[in-house]
Amino acid sequence: MGCEHRNGYICGTATVTMEMATARDRLVDSLVATEVVTKSSTAEALRAVPRHEFVGDDQQDLAYQDRPLPIGNDQTISAPHIVGQMLDLINVERGDRVLEIGTGCGYHAAVTAEVVGDGNVYSVEYDEELGAAARERLERLGYDVAVRIGDGREGWPEEAPFDASYLTCAAAEPPTEVIDQTAADGVVVGPFGEGRQELKRLVVQPDGGYEAETIAPVRFVPMR
């Protein structure tokens, strides 16, 4: 990865890494300034994760623009503001255990792991190829995130209960198993609805039901 500067010098990987970090900081600064991200732990997590490592070589230059990007197999990595907003909404801290439905490239899981720490993020991915690639990538980048290939509708019963859960693909209704596997007073965040989707924040009640709050209209890939 080399680039040619105005002065004609070829710069190496270290310079590129620094330029990426500067671009990343700028993006996070703008998410904080516009109050899309309100928790400092969320901002720090977004600053820490090299999003460019999660996208293809041809997408590197776009990694720090606030937009979704293709990750192959017809799937996309969410825009950074969505990842930040969802992390704010699940309201977790170090040591909390989190269930993610839809690993994709692993970026969102890595950002969550920055907050809750090693061994506390459990992610289910439907697509075998994407799941395997994400598992490898997360490990290479030093994230201890557990990835299971399977249908996220089933959650991850062996690892339940979770302090919070979120979905990165849109379900018509919140999946019952995911609600059941989230502890009372825990939060489930995700895009729900067919056709028109809304990002919702559900708070699980002691009786196993939930109270729902609608956050915003959104567009996510549908759950498979």
Binding stretches for ligand SAH (CB under 6 A): 71, 75-78, 101-102, 104-105, 107-108, 124-127, 130, 151-153, 168-169, 221, 223-224
Nearer to ligand SAH, 126 or 143 (CB): 126
Nearer to ligand SAH, 70 or 117 (CB): 70
To the query of whether residue 78 is one of the catalytic residues in this protein, the response is yes
Nearest distance in Å: CB 147, ligand SAH = 11
Nearest distance in Å: CB 30, ligand SAH = 20
Nearer to ligand SAH, 108 or 201 (CB): 108
Nearest distance in Å: CB 131, ligand SAH = 8
Nearer to ligand SAH, 54 or 210 (CB): 54
Cite the DSSP H helix spans in the chain: 13-33, 40-48, 80-90, 107-116, 128-140, 176-180
Nearest distance in Å: CB 108, ligand SAH = 3
| CA distances for 217 relative to 55, 83, 167, 189, 196, angstroms | 25, 15, 15, 13, 8
Catalytic residue among 30, 41, 78, 165: 78
3-state secondary structure of 200: strand
Backbone angles phi, psi at 127, to 5 degrees: -85, 115
Distance CA 117, CA 21 (A): 21
Q: What tokens were used for 37? A: 């991200």
| CA distances for 198 relative to 46, 82, 172, 216, angstroms | 23, 12, 10, 6
Count CA atoms within 13 Å of residue 203 on its CB side.
Answer: 5
DSSP one-letter code for 184: E
| CA distances for 55 relative to 35, 59, 107, 141, angstroms | 26, 6, 9, 13
Nearest distance in Å: CB 34, ligand SAH = 21
Distance CA 100, CA 135 (A): 13
Nearer to ligand SAH, 173 or 211 (CB): 173
Nearest residue to ligand SAH on Cβ basis: 104
Does the N-terminal peptide bond of residue 161 adopt cis geometry, omega within 30 degrees of 0? yes
Catalytic residue set: 78
